[in-house]
Amino acid sequence: MEAQIAVDLCRNAVWIALMIASPVLIAGTAVGLLIGLFQALTQIQEQTIAIVLKIIVMVLVLAFLTPWMTIKMIDYATELLQEIPQRML
Q: Is residue 89 part of a domain?
A: no
**Could you tell me if residue 69 is inside a domain?**
yes
Q: Is residue 8 part of a domain?
A: no
| Full-model pTM | 0.79
Which domain does 41 fall in, by range?
24-83
Output the CA torsion sign for 15, 16, 22, 25: negative
39 located within any domain = yes
Q: Does 40 map to a domain?
A: yes
pLDDT confidence of 85, banded at 50, 70, 90? confident
Count of CA atoms in the C-beta half-sphere (13 A) of 82: 6
2 lies in some domain = no
User: What is the C-alpha separation between 79 and 63, in angstroms, rounded?
Assistant: 25
| Of 17-21, 23-27, 63-67, 82-86, minimum mean pLDDT range | 82-86
User: In this structure, is residue 36 part of a structural domain?
Assistant: yes
Q: 41 in a domain, yes or no?
A: yes
Number of domains present in the structure of the chain: 1
> What's the pLDDT tens digit per position in 4-59?
888 888 899 999 999 999 999 999 999 999 999 998 898 888 888 889 999 999 99
Helix axes 47-88, 3-42, angle to 10 degrees: 170
Counting other chains too, the contacts that 20-23 makes at CB distance below 8 Å and 24 or more residues apart are 20/69, 20/72, 20/73, 23/61, 23/65
